[in-house]
Amino acid sequence: MRRAFVKALIKLAEKDKRIYLLTADLGYHALEEFAQKFPERFVNCGVAEQNMMGVAAGLALSEKKPYVYSIVPFVTFRCLEQIRNDICYQNLDVKIIGVGGGFSYGTLGSTHVVLEDLAILRALPNINVLSPADLLSTEELIAKSYKTKNPSYIRLSNAGSAKAYEKKPNLQIGKPNVLRDGKDKAIIATGIQVSLCLEAAEELKKQGHNFKVLDFHTIKPIDKQALLKELKGVKKIFTAEEHNTNGGLGSAIAEILAESNWQGTFKIIGTPNEFLSKIGKAEYLRKKYLVDKQGILKNILKFL
């Protein structure tokens, strides 16, 4: 996904000289093309993420359009105070790109596995929180978020093989995108879980369950009316995310459904509110925590 991000950013930077790319000494084998094309607009801030956010804020206040890149734990948790006070408080046009969401860096343990970022970042005022499903949706959301003037956090996964779209989609920030029509049941997913849920929906159909599948690429803001329109007549809803069940996509959807007096049954599929007890590759950890395709199937069928 990071290559899709760089590809999309280069296209934008060729037309807009305000675009700067900042990194905290990461992004090797991905950011080089941007650095070669626009050396005066590429800044390696070193292992100093908090300072990097301050530099980004200064660039935004100087009418530039900075993109800040690092792996998720470093670009969110390490500099949360600076994101809150320097960027969100002033509502600055800074785009924060976090690569390696969820279990992407599972071999490095709990310090590098990030299952709380969506909850923490969506709690901050002014910021958009986006989570693309695959390479094509990454390019699309980079292009669409470019048009916004407030802060954005874009969570990328290391799942280059995930495929939710056959062609570049026309996504709208805040609005869910229907990938599969269904009757009275729906799965709402974000990030890599979208492609897994599409596969799970195919298996469920063989067992007589016809699920609508929604790509919820925007965790914040959410167009409540657009969501409720897509869920009209749906009586069973499941959400799926590679994230803690507290505060993420499922919590955001639950809040809206509760306030709308929706009647039905609802289940959040995600990881438990605990630190990892296992270390391993992403595929192993998804299976362990029941957020791979078979885990999603097991969760849904058990609940049904």
Q: Report the b/e string of 181-216 with b at 16+ CB within 10 A.
A: ebeebbbbbbbbbbbbbbebbeebeeeebebbbbbb
Q: Determine how many CB atoms are found less than 10 A away from the CB of residue 48.
A: 14
Alpha-carbon span 145 to 130, nearest angstrom = 9
- From the list 76, 83, 56, the residue with the least C-alpha distance to 67 is 56
Q: Determine how many CB atoms are found less than 10 A away from the CB of residue 160.
A: 12
Alpha-carbon span 133 to 164, nearest angstrom = 6
**Torsion-angle region of residue 67: left (phi > 0), alpha (psi -120 to 50) or beta?**
beta
Residues whose CB falls within 8 Å of the CB of residue 105, separated by 6 or more in sequence, listed in order: 71, 112, 113, 158
Inter-residue contact 76 to 120 (CB < 8 Å): yes
Output the DSSP codes for 181-233: --SSEEEEE-TTHHHHHHHHHHHHHHTT--EEEEE--EEES--HHHHHHHTTT
Query: What residues does 239 pair with on adjacent strands?
Result: 188, 268
- From the list 172, 237, 194, 23, the residue with the least C-alpha distance to 102 is 194
3-class DSSP assignment, residue 180 = strand
Q: Which residues are catalytic?
A: 49
Inter-residue contact 265 to 253 (CB < 8 Å): no
Distances (CA, A) of 110 to 81, 115, 116, 274: 21, 9, 11, 10
